[in-house]
Amino acid sequence: MSQSQLTLISHHLCPFVQRVAIVLLEKDIPFQRINIDLHDKPDWFLAISPTGKVPLLKVLDHDGEEYVLFESIAICEYLEETFPQPALYPTTALSRAQHRAWIEFASAAMFDAWGFLNASDQDTAQSKSMALREKMKRFEAEISTGPYFAGEQLGIVDIVMAPIFRYFDILKSESSNQVFEGLNRVADWRLALANRPSVQAAVTADYATRFRKHLQDANALLATAL
């Protein structure tokens, strides 16, 4: 495919967009990226997005028709089937099913993390922090010897988790670090993903600044520690 045939409709901070961007970068697939303002959604975007959310992937197929894919995992699986190398899913049906289940678990962790990061009161922050830590403890017990979730090769579960870890790499507060306290395998996993070129390139250079501003605008408790 030429560069003009895949277009990722994006938002600077969206973690679900990052999933797709990492897959595209890992597979060295040329694509264009268009960032939109989710607080002022363009009419053209609303016309093609069934959910009004990002990511979208516009695909100009070989027949000359343009198609729009939505939902991050559906897009990732399309890319895996269309560009099979390097493989990001396991080869056996059983292992693929297991990893799809861990994707769902990671998505739940994402919502716990977002709730904690954006909490404006202590009760919400504490409950979301505890829920996220419990999920990290489950990952601690499940992670391979590394450096990635299933071993030496980056996979789809890693890609889904990377945007969560990115949040905490920006924060330095004691309360955010407590989520990972004593979880050595998770810490090593987090570091391995932070050093991955595709993970680094999945966001713009000003991502950290944008994220901090978001927390400040949301009156999040953690914004005071920035």
Q: Which of 9, 13, 14, 159 is catalytic?
A: 14
Catalytic-residue membership of 14: yes
Query: 166: domain CATH number?
Result: 1.20.1050.10
Q: Is there a single domain that holds both residue 139 and residue 208?
A: yes
Asked if residue 115 is part of any domain, the answer here is yes
Is 57 in contact with 38 (CB distance < 8 Å)?
A: no
Cβ-contact 120, 220 below 8 angstroms: yes
Output the domain CATH number for residue 33: 3.40.30.10
DSSP H helices, 7-92, are 15-26, 43-48, 72-82
The reply to whether 122 and 74 lie within a common domain is no
Question: pLDDT tens digit string along 7-58?
Answer: 999 999 999 999 999 999 999 999 999 999 999 999 999 999 999 999 999 9
Residues 125, 182: one domain? Answer: yes
**Is 182 in contact with 129 (CB distance < 8 Å)?**
no
Residues 31 and 130 in one domain: no
- Domain around 67: 3-82
DSSP β-ladder status, 32-35 and 56-60: unpaired
Q: Does some domain include residue 87?
A: no
Residue-wise pLDDT tens digits, 113-137 = 999 999 999 999 999 999 999 999 9
Q: Give pTM, 2 decimals.
A: 0.94
User: Residue 148: phi, psi to the nearest 5?
Assistant: -110, 180
Residue 138 domain-assigned (yes or no) = yes
For residue 192, give the nearest of 133, 226, 145 by alpha carbon. 145
- 76 & 143 share domain: no
Q: Report the distance separating Cα 152 and Cα 84, nearest Å.
A: 18
